[in-house]
Amino acid sequence: MGASDFSKLPHIGESLRRKEDYRFLTGAGNYTDDIDLANMTHAVFVRSPHAHANIKSVNKTAALAAPGVIAILDGADVVDAKINGLPCGWLITDTSGQPMKEPPHPILAHNKVRYVGDHVAMVVAETLEQAKNAAELVEVDYDVLPAVVDVRDAKGGTALHTEAPDNHCYNWAIGDKAAVDAAFAGAAHVTKLDLINNRLVPNPMEPRAAIGSYNRASDEYTLYVSNQNPHVERLLMTAFVMGLPEHKVRVIAPDVGGGFGAKIYLYAEDVCLTWASKKLNRNIKWNCDRSEAFLCDAHGRDHSSHAELAIDKDGKFLALKVHTDANLGAYLSTFSTAVPTILYATLLAGQYNTPQVYVEVDSWFTNTAPVDAYRGAGRPEATYLLERIVSRAAFELGLSQDEIRRRNFITQFPYQTPVALQYDTGDFHACLNHANELGDVAGFGARKAASQAKGLLRGIGYSSYIEACGLAPSNVAGALGARAGLFECGEVRVHPTGSVTVFTGSHSHGQGHETTFAQVVAARLGIPVENVDIVHGDTGRVPFGMGTYGSRSISVGGAAIMRALDKIEAKAKKIAAHLMEASDTDIDFANGEFSVKGTDKKIPFGQVALTAYVPHNYPLETLEPGLNETAFYDPTNFTFPAGTYICEVEIDPQTGVTRVDKFTAVDDFGTIINPMIVEGQVHGGLVQGIGQALMEQCVYDRETGQLLTGSFMDYTMPRADDFPEFKIGHECTPCTTNPLGTKGCGEAGAIGSPPAVINAVLDALSAVGVKDFDMPASPHRVWSAIQAAKA
């Protein structure tokens, strides 16, 4: 079935209430911490208080003697057990042709710690209190070393790893440098910009948690873990770290209370629990507390960039060149290396017809928590840079932010960018027009005058983003360094009574798959949505899948289910043909009924399902009984959601307090399955993006490497009353490379919104002479910028 026919099916585009909400809203969810196994023990990790230190000794004597303690494992035990370090899933090749520097990432530090919170030992005790008390008795003698925190200090700073003497992981580049230089030579105007993309701490509502369990009778391990992709977790852990046969480990990611990227990765704690569950022959639970999450979850962003945009006399872009220093933290987290390269630089053409783009990236090790993908992963960093420099160019050239974008929008599709991606569809003018209308841009002047009358500064900011979701074909990703496939699986199990259970490799941790995937299946089979259940998050039940990240689930996971449904339909037609004594090529299937072309003969889907399992009148010689099909789908291209966001802020120059007064988001997500869920996704993304722009910032002390924003007292999280009612609109150019026509929506809000906010802040502050500003626009930073401009 093609995308166009699919979009017309019943249930597609319907805002059905979420099937999963009953259990979530009534407290019936089953999160990792809700799982209680027999004789459960509890783990607590001893963590480094220093950013960089040699470990002289670990003395466990007093701790081992403490009540309830079962075992204390440290780096020496890991070496004895021959457990490898955590692998990095993406190999970047340096511009020199050499592979990136890939130092070991031990699950428990051996001889050296490299960031505050680095894992030194795991204490296992009968109760959590006993484990906590004993952890305080573990005596670690450290020889403290100088710390490197900021990428600007990395080169020449004390080396974290012997494998990376300059703390340098790789230099990577994309684009034609000579062509870019030539274009700059002929430019009428060059806009320059230095900017920092502030480091963020993900903070999902449910912190990470895991339970290691080992069954001696079957020699099987089970790891319950709050994770976004259980099969990837299992593959990395068994094949690369523990050397276990994969079928002996079952990974279950039950209800997960948000991930936002931070739960994609294989973490040290997960391996420690799995390993120790056999070693101690006990079930072991670990719950990350909020302070540990601040210290040890993979952080996001942390780029420092210089960009230059060459423009001709008509305001048309000629070329863009960018240099970015990316902070990778102390170790390479699972997909960290792909974020500032493949997922970032390839998005720097944006929505614009810029003939030449050249991007160079240096990535560095520092004594901070590992940095990896966080909602948007590279695309927010690209969008922030591009949309900031485009608005700055508009300010410099005296054009409106709207006009400069219109002059440069891509209008012909498919469009090959100079940085590898090929966009299949889009209508950027339509999104901009729609956003202008929805955001009442025409009334901005009057609102600005009204703000002025109150002594307040009002500004408007635009951001026209494009991003790449779903990820690339596996072979392309492999050529770019991915050490994994990027397909997805779906199994459709039709039961004898015609109800259906779907097993998907995608994982829902807030995105509502149990509803939207059921909508897709119900629409295709013409059965009630209540008759479809979705199973995910269990390697013991679901075929091998890649999980959820990169807003890929509906476009790749949904496409795999569509493929399985194609097979179901083809087989069901054969059964129906037999029952109605016709040729299967003469069978039509629509609205849950099989009919013979040109006749009034028809039978319902349920009857065919029953016949498949009660095959009394059945072509057993040519057809197997049963109606159960599995498919794997490998995407042929990314999907390219795009849109225009417009933000209006009002700033009190006396206090620096910045209030988002209006925020308009018009997105093109192709075909939309469930508008209510999509709107919720956009709301969540906007809050995260505006949160980054206005308040969130992870700060380490530049000298000592201590995390200064290690709790919600110091790290400001956005709240509902920080926001106005968002105005949300949609345009639709269906994706041409998947059978649903969908483009991902899960990250768009977080990608498009930060530059819209900061462009608005700069527009407002231009009245008092402020020309440049880095996120976050906290009252103190805004007030200080105003004072500096006055001075």
Supply the minimum distance, in Å, between the C-beta of residue 567 and ligand MCN: 21
Residues 227-286 that bind ligand MCN (CB under 6 A): 258-261
Nearest residue to ligand MCN, by Cβ distance, number only: 510
Residues 177-216 that bind ligand MCN (CB under 6 A): 204
732/767 with CB nearer ligand MCN: 732
H helix and E strand count, the chain: 21, 28
Residue 346 interacts with ligand MCN (CB under 6 A): yes or no: no
Residue 301 interacts with ligand MCN (CB under 6 A): yes or no: no
Strands (DSSP E) along 104-228, which ranges? Answer: 112-113, 119-125, 139-144, 168-175, 189-197, 209-215, 220-225
Supply the minimum distance, in Å, between the C-beta of residue 746 and ligand MCN: 2
Residue 510 interacts with ligand MCN (CB under 6 A): yes or no: yes
Residues 738-767 that bind ligand MCN (CB under 6 A): 742-747
Residue 341 interacts with ligand MCN (CB under 6 A): yes or no: no
CA atoms of 132 and 124, how far apart (whole Å): 9
Supply the minimum distance, in Å, between the C-beta of residue 334 and ligand MCN: 14
Among 681, 697, 733, 737, binds ligand MCN (CB under 6 A): 681
Supply the minimum distance, in Å, between the C-beta of residue 423 and ligand MCN: 16
Among 236, 432, 677, 785, binds ligand MCN (CB under 6 A): 677
Residue 611 interacts with ligand MCN (CB under 6 A): yes or no: no
462/632 with CB nearer ligand MCN: 632
CA atoms of 159 and 515, how far apart (whole Å): 50
553/759 with CB nearer ligand MCN: 553
| Residue 315 token pair | 């305001």
Residue 175 interacts with ligand MCN (CB under 6 A): yes or no: no
Supply the minimum distance, in Å, between the C-beta of residue 555 and ligand MCN: 6
Supply the minimum distance, in Å, between the C-beta of residue 339 and ligand MCN: 12
Supply the minimum distance, in Å, between the C-beta of residue 30 and ligand MCN: 17
Supply the minimum distance, in Å, between the C-beta of residue 468 and ligand MCN: 12
Supply the minimum distance, in Å, between the C-beta of residue 297 and ligand MCN: 12
Residue 680: exposure state from Cβ atoms within 10 A (0-12, 13-18, ≥19): middle
Among 161, 278, 434, 509, binds ligand MCN (CB under 6 A): 509
Supply the minimum distance, in Å, between the C-beta of residue 265 and ligand MCN: 13
CA atoms of 315 and 398, how far apart (whole Å): 10
CA atoms of 488 and 473, how far apart (whole Å): 11
Residue 686 in contact with residue 746, Cβ under 8 Å?
no
Among 278, 285, 513, 730, binds ligand MCN (CB under 6 A): 513
- Could you check whether the bond before residue 653 is cis, i.e. omega within 30 degrees of 0? no
Residue 368 interacts with ligand MCN (CB under 6 A): yes or no: no
Supply the minimum distance, in Å, between the C-beta of residue 228 and ligand MCN: 8
CA atoms of 19 and 521, how far apart (whole Å): 14
Residue 749 in contact with residue 644, Cβ under 8 Å?
no
Residue 320 interacts with ligand MCN (CB under 6 A): yes or no: no
Supply the minimum distance, in Å, between the C-beta of residue 347 and ligand MCN: 15
Residue 672 interacts with ligand MCN (CB under 6 A): yes or no: yes
Residue 317 interacts with ligand MCN (CB under 6 A): yes or no: no
Residue 725 in contact with residue 310, Cβ under 8 Å?
no
Residues 372-391 that bind ligand MCN (CB under 6 A): 375
Residue 335 interacts with ligand MCN (CB under 6 A): yes or no: no
Interior/surface letters 770-786, b for 16+ CB within 10 angstroms, e for the rest? beebbbbbbeebbbebb
CA neighbours within 13 Å on the CB side: how many for 544?
Answer: 11
CA atoms of 480 and 611, how far apart (whole Å): 48
260/638 with CB nearer ligand MCN: 260
66/673 with CB nearer ligand MCN: 673
Strands (DSSP E) along 702-752, which ranges? Answer: 727-731
Residue 324 interacts with ligand MCN (CB under 6 A): yes or no: no
In sequence order, the 6+-apart residues with CB closer than 8 A to the CB of 490 are 502, 503, 504, 505, 557, 560, 561, 562, 563, 564, 630, 631, 633
Going across the sheet that includes 593-596, the strands are 587-590, 593-596, 602-604
Residues 522-581 that bind ligand MCN (CB under 6 A): 548-555
315/490 with CB nearer ligand MCN: 490
Q: What angle, 0 to 180 degrees and rounded to 10, lies between the N-to-C axes of helices 401-408 and 379-397?
A: 110
Supply the minimum distance, in Å, between the C-beta of residue 151 and ligand MCN: 24
With CB under 6 A as the rule, give the number of residues binding ligand MCN: 36
Among 670, 689, 691, 754, binds ligand MCN (CB under 6 A): 670
Phi, psi of 83 (to 5 degrees): -90, 130
- Could you check whether the bond before residue 414 is cis, i.e. omega within 30 degrees of 0? yes
CA distances from 510 to 255, 681, 684 (A): 9, 9, 10
Among 169, 673, 698, 764, binds ligand MCN (CB under 6 A): 673
CA distances from 626 to 535, 562, 579, 585 (A): 20, 19, 15, 20
Task: Considering only the C-alpha atoms of the chain, give the largest distance between any 2 of them, rounded to a whole number of Å.
Answer: 90
CB atoms within 10 A of CB 281: 11
Residue 684 interacts with ligand MCN (CB under 6 A): yes or no: yes
Residues 110-149 that bind ligand MCN (CB under 6 A): none
374/589 with CB nearer ligand MCN: 374
CA distances from 639 to 2, 410, 521, 545 (A): 16, 16, 21, 19
Q: CA 756: distance to chain centroid? A: 20
Residue 80: exposure state from Cβ atoms within 10 A (0-12, 13-18, ≥19): exposed
Among 133, 238, 539, 674, binds ligand MCN (CB under 6 A): 674
360/467 with CB nearer ligand MCN: 467
Residue 334 interacts with ligand MCN (CB under 6 A): yes or no: no
Residue 639 interacts with ligand MCN (CB under 6 A): yes or no: no
Residue 482 interacts with ligand MCN (CB under 6 A): yes or no: no
Residues that bind ligand MCN (CB under 6 A): 204, 258-261, 375, 509-513, 516, 548-555, 669-674, 677-678, 681, 684, 742-747
